[in-house]
């Protein structure tokens, strides 16, 4: 759960607010109130009121992400996300930005393997405006060749900025999924290839919109300062008559059972410090084993006194920085969706060999499998998790995101509290069991990312893997 | 499933017919927001204590901030203040690193240290019931760090590696060089250490810095959140921080930065598929009257997706994913910059475009509507920032470190709203106009040096490798 780098693809880079969606935790000391219901067209609505600061967050999440992309259209879900800001029946290109910003709000959108989300945060008297903006594009997105062309360029530029020109990120977003997943849906690049991005047509955009951007495939969350009756009325007025569409099918994402792990080494021309990625296929979302894995991850990587920090960063002095998550690099406990992995990323010191780092991390897990975790350590980890929950849920937007994810994935916003209870019920024996069953040396895939030796400028452009 | 959704279509709600879907709704008046009152007092040893009660969440956010930022680094040891900050956490006379880490996690909180150009801060946030214990831990690391030899060796090793990582990042490289050019030989010129300066750090240097600057009369303790009763929290603060001796702190006189002139630096990063650009000038300090016009102008120019640069450079011309402005005021200086990353083929066009926009700000008044929109945005963002406790805590830090008026927060909106187009134009003439500006580009010199030449003499510098290297003569 520790974050140092992480990967995200969003509409634009934010410089004002950095949101850390980590994960749900505490018990009685922080209860997030909500109510949820469904419109007649199938759109799910979650309301969570808190009037302390006169702001609201409107969060709309669609049940489609990069893992629903078809062959030849890698990167399309994200390209489509960009198109959502290009105008609709009553909004010209640029109007969405203008309305939100000139009314004192912020906005963004982001694409994930299994969902795509959009938000506006505004002074609370602008809730109606935010609802109108979201409803107009859900009802009537304007899809033109000019807008598509322009956003193809923006996305290609985003790919250059966030991936091609950065250390590690291309290996993480392109090489790692291809190494560790067998099924195209999970194995392909989420940012896409230039070729596929170029090939996207206006027809593709229209079809994707019709198929996935229907009210019955969406969840709308309002969090913050509003009057419930007002909010319900406006939601009905703006979204109630957007027609439902046939419920889209999720593609087959089945992965073959992994019998042995793979190891691969790539060189990265931008990296100066070596890194390893390790991953293991992980248990089903919200199963008892899933929560045991959540606690195991926290023991390994949460807080300042985690096993990796004390034993490897300090003790063996082999690791420089690390992060890990169920669902890494795109997800964490909240938005983990099957099939997925538990994966870790570590920058390590050049006086170690990659195999040593892999062995050291595996030894930490094996030791937990063998010896378990004592009560004092478990209590410490729980305190860290409680703290993280309270901290993360301070803003309306973070509350809206967590509630929206649990509604979308589970139909249960109450998981915002229940998840924590489930995590806390995990015993040392369950942690041992999940380590033994899932996180074994035989099952891990490994990607080693080594700095490329310096090249004379003439051949520098070849680079990459 | 299909049948179900189709059936629902027949039952269109009547309410939906009653609102005009072609227009945005008229909004009600905004609900006013009142900031929590801030109580301020001073301990006899000179430590200023500020308390703001905010009981929405069972959390307490604390900042112990010292006027001991990177600008206080000895000239030959850039990065010392940051290393002091990092090493505070690595062991005290009472606790080893492991004990600090375990105590901290057990409380359910974070304790981190860091520096900016002007200040060194010990930051914490913790579950409210453990606020007292966290203050004890804060006091321990702030006062009793012993800088253990083994931890210092590891810190230096890791800092060098981290510097190598930073030097692989174009944004870091650009920012590092930008500050160096703008501030020349003065203390704001560096944002981090060099491999050589890391080598120079020893226990004695850390202790000297700590004992000189980390003293109560050079500090503020700020607590925001669900606090215990006033007298109880003040008792705890006195117990933890009261027996800390005050000491005279050496005066700081800000040296004058070099006179501005056009400087065009290209940091050669072979293999780059795009060019990272940062351009701009020295700008207002936080308490300069120009700060508000510069801020509002900065929003109009490049603050967010409704700004001129975003709409033109990205949305219209498709040159960039990210293009924005940064207004970065410091205590005795400040910078304004426009930042973007573009593909190699359009470097000259994009740069030309941005420079034209900057000059337009300096030469033409902004339009009324743009001005109104930018003000709403600034005020809205200010309000949104107040939701998490750290929003208020960090603003209080800012007030102290930047020496802002006491009523800065209460008057922020009024000051934003009073900005006029001529003030923006005047500020832009000083801080945005091109000609005497600094332009730093990070990219593949083989691909982009030529197109950059039309903007002036290009000074090509090798990408840092953790070692300072001489500029390559061109």
- Are residues B405 and B273 part of one domain? yes
Cβ-Cβ contacts under 8 Å, A165 against chain B: 170, 272-274, 276, 341
Residue A198 has pLDDT above 80, yes or no: yes
Distance from CA of B125 to the nearest CA of A (A): 8
- Are residues B270 and B233 part of one domain? no
Cβ-Cβ contacts under 8 Å, A399 against chain B: none
Here the tokens at position B360 are 């337009």
Q: Do B274 and A153 touch (CB under 8 A)?
A: no
Residues of chain B with pLDDT under 50: 1-16, 466-474
The CATH number of the domain where B140 resides is what? Answer: 3.30.830.10
Q: Do A128 and B161 touch (CB under 8 A)?
A: no
- Are residues B236 and B275 part of one domain? no
Predicted confidence band of residue A456 (pLDDT cuts 50, 70, 90) = low
**Nearest alpha carbon to residue A79 among A184, A215, A205, A218:** A205
- Are residues B217 and B268 part of one domain? no
Q: Do B446 and A460 touch (CB under 8 A)?
A: yes
Put simply, whether A449 touches B (Cβ < 8 Å) is no
3-state DSSP of chain B: CHHHHHHHHCCCCCHHHHCCCCCCCCCCCCCCCCCCCEEEEECCCCCEEEEEECCCCCEEEEEEEECCCHHHCCCCCCCHHHHHHHHHCCEECCCEHHHHHHHHHHHCEEEEEEECCCCEEEEEEEEHHHHHHHHHHHHHHHHHECCCHHHHHHHHHHHHHHHHHHCCCHHHHHHHHHHHHHHCCCHHHCCCCCHHHHHCCCHHHHHHHHHHHCCHHHEEEEEEECCCCHHHHHHHHHHHHCCCCCCCCCCCCCCCCCCCCCEEEEEECCCCCEEEEEEEEECCCCCCCCHHHHHHHHHHHHCCCCCHHHHHHHHHCCCEEEEEEEEEEECCEEEEEEEEEEEHHHHHHHHHHHHHHHHHHHHCCCCHHHHHHHHHHHHHHHHHCCCCHHHHHHHHHHHHHCCCCCCHHHHHHHHHHCCCHHHHHHHHHHHCCCCCCEEEEEECHHHHHHHHHHHCCEEEEECCCCCCCCCCCC
- Are residues B42 and B98 part of one domain? yes
Residue A4 has pLDDT above 60, yes or no: no
Average pLDDT along chain A: 91
- Give the domain-ending residue among B190, B211, B241: B241
Which residue among B22, B23, B31 sits closest to A124, beta carbon to beta carbon? B31
Predicted confidence band of residue A244 (pLDDT cuts 50, 70, 90) = very high
- Are residues B181 and B97 part of one domain? yes
Cβ-Cβ contacts under 8 Å, B15 against chain A: 233, 236-237, 240
Candidates A28, A194, A244, A272: best to mutate against B (most CBs of B within 10 A) is A272
Residue A314 has pLDDT above 80, yes or no: yes
Distance from CA of B303 to the nearest CA of A (A): 9
In a domain, B449, yes or no: yes
In a domain, B458, yes or no: yes
Domains of chain A: 9-239 (3.30.830.10), 263-459 (3.30.830.10)
Put simply, whether A92 touches B (Cβ < 8 Å) is no
pLDDT, residue B374, reads 96
pLDDT, residue A29, reads 63
In a domain, B82, yes or no: yes
Put simply, whether A19 touches B (Cβ < 8 Å) is no
Please give the residue range of the domain that contains residue B442. 263-462
Cβ-Cβ contacts under 8 Å, A121 against chain B: 384
Q: Do A463 and B170 touch (CB under 8 A)?
A: no
Task: Decide which of A111 and B4 is more confident.
Answer: A111
Closest Cα in chain A to B107: A383
- Are residues B229 and B298 part of one domain? no
Q: Do A244 and B8 touch (CB under 8 A)?
A: yes
Q: Do B321 and A101 touch (CB under 8 A)?
A: no
Predicted confidence band of residue A463 (pLDDT cuts 50, 70, 90) = very low
In a domain, B404, yes or no: yes
In a domain, B21, yes or no: no
Cα separations in angstroms, B140 against B97, B104, B106, B245, B335: 12, 12, 16, 14, 36
Number of domains in chain B: 2
Distance from CA of B135 to the nearest CA of A (A): 16
- Are residues B322 and B282 part of one domain? yes
Which residue among B97, B321, B445 sits closest to A161, beta carbon to beta carbon? B321
Candidates B29, B305, B371: best to mutate against A (most CBs of A within 10 A) is B305
Put simply, whether A392 touches B (Cβ < 8 Å) is no
- Are residues B220 and B277 part of one domain? no
- Are residues B270 and B235 part of one domain? no
Cβ-Cβ contacts under 8 Å, A299 against chain B: none
pLDDT, residue B28, reads 87
- Are residues B437 and B313 part of one domain? yes
Cβ-Cβ contacts under 8 Å, A128 against chain B: 24-25, 27
pLDDT, residue A11, reads 64
- Give the domain-ending residue among B241, B273, B298: B241
Distance from CA of A335 to the nearest CA of B (A): 23
Predicted confidence band of residue A455 (pLDDT cuts 50, 70, 90) = low
Q: What's the farthest any 2 CA atoms get from each other in chain B?
A: 80
Closest Cα in chain B to A152: B318
Residue A141 has pLDDT above 80, yes or no: yes
Put simply, whether A272 touches B (Cβ < 8 Å) is yes
Report the SS3 class of residue A323.
strand
In a domain, B328, yes or no: yes
pLDDT, residue A9, reads 64
Residue pair B130/A238 in contact by the 8 Å Cβ criterion: no
Residue pair B432/B424 in contact by the 8 Å Cβ criterion: no
Predicted confidence band of residue A342 (pLDDT cuts 50, 70, 90) = very high
Residue A19 has pLDDT above 70, yes or no: no
Cβ-Cβ contacts under 8 Å, B106 against chain A: 379-380, 383
In a domain, B177, yes or no: yes
Cβ-Cβ contacts under 8 Å, A345 against chain B: none
Put simply, whether A170 touches B (Cβ < 8 Å) is no
Put simply, whether A303 touches B (Cβ < 8 Å) is yes
In a domain, B338, yes or no: yes
Q: Do A53 and B387 touch (CB under 8 A)?
A: yes
Section A50-78 average pLDDT: 96
Residue A447 has pLDDT above 90, yes or no: yes
CB pairs under 8 A between A and B: 296
Cβ-Cβ contacts under 8 Å, A13 against chain B: 321-322, 324
Which residue among B23, B59, B272 sits closest to A165, beta carbon to beta carbon? B272
Which residue among A55, A272, A321 sits closest to B168, beta carbon to beta carbon? A272
Section A354-382 average pLDDT: 97
Closest Cα in chain A to B379: A104
Q: Do A126 and B27 touch (CB under 8 A)?
A: yes
Sorted by sequence, the CB contacts under 8 Å of residue A156 that are 6+ apart come out as A194, A197, B343
- Are residues B415 and B285 part of one domain? yes
Closest Cα in chain B to A237: B16
pTM of the model: 0.91
Put simply, whether A144 touches B (Cβ < 8 Å) is no
pLDDT, residue A326, reads 96
- Determine the Cα–Cα distance for residues B164 and B421; give it in Å rounded to an integer: 44
ipTM attached to this prediction: 0.89
């Amino acid at each position: 759960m520790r974050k140092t780098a992480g990967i995200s693809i969003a509409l634009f880079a934010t410089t004002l607010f950095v949101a850390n969606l980590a994960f749900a935790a505490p018990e009685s000391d922080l209860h997030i109130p909500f109510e949820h219901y469904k419109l007649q067209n199938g759109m799910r609505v979650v309301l969570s009121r808190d009037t302390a600061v006169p702001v609201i967050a409107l969060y709309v999440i669609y049940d489609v992400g990069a893992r629903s992309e078809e062959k030849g259209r890698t990167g399309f879900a994200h390209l489509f996300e960009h198109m959502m800001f290009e105008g609709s029946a009553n909004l010209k290109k640029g109007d969405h930005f203008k309305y939100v910003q000139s009314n004192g709000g912020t906005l963004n959108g982001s694409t994930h393997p299994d969902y795509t989300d959009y938000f506006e945060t505004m002074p609370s008297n602008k809730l109606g405006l935010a609802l109108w903006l979201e409803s107009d594009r859900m009802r009537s997105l304007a899809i033109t060749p000019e807008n598509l062309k322009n956003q193809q360029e923006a996305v290609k530029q985003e790919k250059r900025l966030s991936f091609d020109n950065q250390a590690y990120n291309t290996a993480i977003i392109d090489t790692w999924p291809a190494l560790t997943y067998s099924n195209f849906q999970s194995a392909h690049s989420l940012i896409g290839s230039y070729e596929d991005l170029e090939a996207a047509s206006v027809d593709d955009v229209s079809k994707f919109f019709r198929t996935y951007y229907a009210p019955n495939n969406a969840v709308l969350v309002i969090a913050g300062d509003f009057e419930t009756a007002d909010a319900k009325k406006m939601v009905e007025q703006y979204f109630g008559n957007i027609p439902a569409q046939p419920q889209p099918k999720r593609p087959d994402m089945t992965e073959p059972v992994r019998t042995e792990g793979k190891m691969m080494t790539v060189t990265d021309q931008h990296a100066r410090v070596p890194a390893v990625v390790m991953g293991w296929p992980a248990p089903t979302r919200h199963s008892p084993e899933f929560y045991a894995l959540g606690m195991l991850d926290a023991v390994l990587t949460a807080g300042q006194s985690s096993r990796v920090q004390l034993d490897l960063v300090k003790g063996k002095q082999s690791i420089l920085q690390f992060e890990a998550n169920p669902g890494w690099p795109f997800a964490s406990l909240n938005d983990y969706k099957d099939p997925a992995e538990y994966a870790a990323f570590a920058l390590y010191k050049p006086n170690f060999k990659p195999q040593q780092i892999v062995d050291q991390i595996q030894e930490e897990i094996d030791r937990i499998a063998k010896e378990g975790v004592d009560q004092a350590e478990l209590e410490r980890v729980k305190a860290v998790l409680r703290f993280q929950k309270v901290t993360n849920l301070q803003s309306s937007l973070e509350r809206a995101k967590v509630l929206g994810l649990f509604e979308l994935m589970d139909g249960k916003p109450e998981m915002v509290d229940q998840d924590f209870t489930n995590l806390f019920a995990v015993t040392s024996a369950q942690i041992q069991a999940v380590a033994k069953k899932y996180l074994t040396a035989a099952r891990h895939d490994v990607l080693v990312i080594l700095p490329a030796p310096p090249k004379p400028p003439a051949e520098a452009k070849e680079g990459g893997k | 499933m299909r049948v179900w959704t189709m059936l629902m279509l027949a039952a269109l709600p009547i309410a939906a017919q009653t609102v005009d879907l072609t227009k945005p709704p008229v909004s009600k008046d905004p609900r006013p927001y009142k900031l929590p009152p801030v109580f301020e007092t001073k301990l006899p040893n000179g430590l200023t204590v500020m308390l703001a009660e905010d009981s929405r969440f069972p959390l307490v956010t604390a900042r112990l901030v010292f006027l001991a930022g990177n600008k206080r680094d000895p000239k030959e040891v850039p990065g010392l203040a940051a290393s002091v900050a990092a090493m505070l956490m690595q062991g005290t006379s009472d606790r080893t690193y492991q004990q600090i880490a375990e105590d901290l996690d057990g409380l359910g909180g974070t304790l981190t240290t860091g520096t900016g150009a002007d200040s060194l801060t010990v930051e914490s946030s913790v579950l409210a019931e453990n606020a007292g214990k966290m203050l004890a831990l804060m006091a321990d690391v702030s006062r009793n760090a012993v800088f253990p030899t083994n931890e210092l060796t590891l810190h230096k090793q890791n800092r060098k590696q981290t510097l190598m990582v930073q030097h692989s990042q174009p944004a870091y490289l650009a920012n590092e060089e930008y500050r160096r050019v703008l501030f020349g030989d003065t203390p704001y010129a560096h944002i981090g250490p060099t491999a050589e300066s890391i080598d120079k750090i020893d226990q004695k240097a850390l202790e000297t810095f700590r004992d000189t600057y980390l003293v109560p009369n050079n500090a503020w303790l700020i607590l925001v959140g669900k606090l215990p009763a006033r007298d109880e929290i003040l008792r705890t603060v006195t117990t933890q921080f009261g027996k800390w001796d005050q000491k005279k702190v050496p005066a700081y006189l800000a040296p004058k930065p070099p006179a501005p002139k056009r400087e065009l630096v290209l940091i050669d990063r072979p293999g780059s598929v795009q060019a990272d650009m940062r351009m701009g000038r020295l700008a207002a300090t936080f308490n300069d009257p120009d700060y508000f016009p510069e801020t509002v102008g900065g929003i109009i120019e490049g603050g967010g997706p409704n700004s001129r640069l975003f709409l033109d450079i990205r949305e219209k011309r498709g040159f960039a994913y990210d293009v924005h402005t940064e207004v970065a005021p410091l205590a005795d200086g400040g910078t304004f910059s426009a930042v973007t990353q573009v593909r190699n083929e359009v470097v000259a066009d994009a740069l030309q475009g941005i420079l034209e926009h900057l000059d337009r700000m300096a030469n033409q008044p902004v339009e009324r509507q743009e001005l109104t929109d930018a003000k709403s945005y600034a005020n809205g963002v200010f309000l949104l920032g107040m939701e998490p406790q750290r929003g208020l805590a960090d603003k209080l830090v800012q007030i102290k470190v930047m020496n802002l008026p006491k009523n800065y927060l209460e008057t922020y909106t009024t000051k934003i709203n009073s900005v006029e187009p001529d003030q923006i134009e005047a500020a832009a003439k000083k801080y945005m106009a091109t000609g005497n500006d600094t332009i730093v580009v990070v990219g593949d010199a083989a691909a982009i040096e030529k197109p950059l030449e039309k903007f002036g003499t290009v000074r090509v510098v090798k990408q840092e490798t953790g070692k300072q290297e001489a500029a390559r003569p061109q």
